[in-house]
């Protein structure tokens, strides 16, 4: 069963998403930072575990920030993982 224009229109008419919407790295970073601020408000700290059951995506993001910070402090800006946009 192939894809045709009619099927595409039917899927899109109900809000079907074809894949990840393009979100800039900066926008994504800001959104995750807002989630971190909310986590801190709720829990009283920002020490999000890497495997955070309540918000797995936030746990991974925080771990990525920590890794990026270590690279940045070591002077390895090539792999600072988005710590600084240039």
Is residue 76 very low, low, confident or very high in pLDDT (cuts 50, 70, 90)? confident
pLDDT category at 86 given cuts 50, 70, 90 is: very low
Across residues 56-61, what is the average pLDDT? 91
CA atoms within 13 A on the CB side of 85: 7
* Of 26 and 36, the one with more pLDDT: 36
pLDDT above 90: residue 40 = yes
Task: Measure the CA–CA gap between 36 and 55, rounded to whole angstroms.
Answer: 10
Rounded to two decimals, the pTM is 0.64
What pLDDT score does 34 carry? 93
């Amino acid at each position: 069963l192939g894809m045709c224009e009619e099927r595409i229109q039917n899927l899109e008419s109900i809000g079907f998403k074809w894949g990840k919407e393009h979100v800039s790295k900066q926008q994504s970073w800001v959104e995750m930072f807002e989630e971190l601020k909310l986590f801190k408000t709720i829990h009283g700290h920002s020490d999000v575990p890497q495997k955070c059951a309540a918000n797995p995506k936030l746990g991974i993001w925080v771990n990525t920030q920590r890794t990026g910070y270590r690279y940045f402090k070591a002077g390895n800006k090539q792999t600072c993982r988005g710590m600084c946009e240039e």
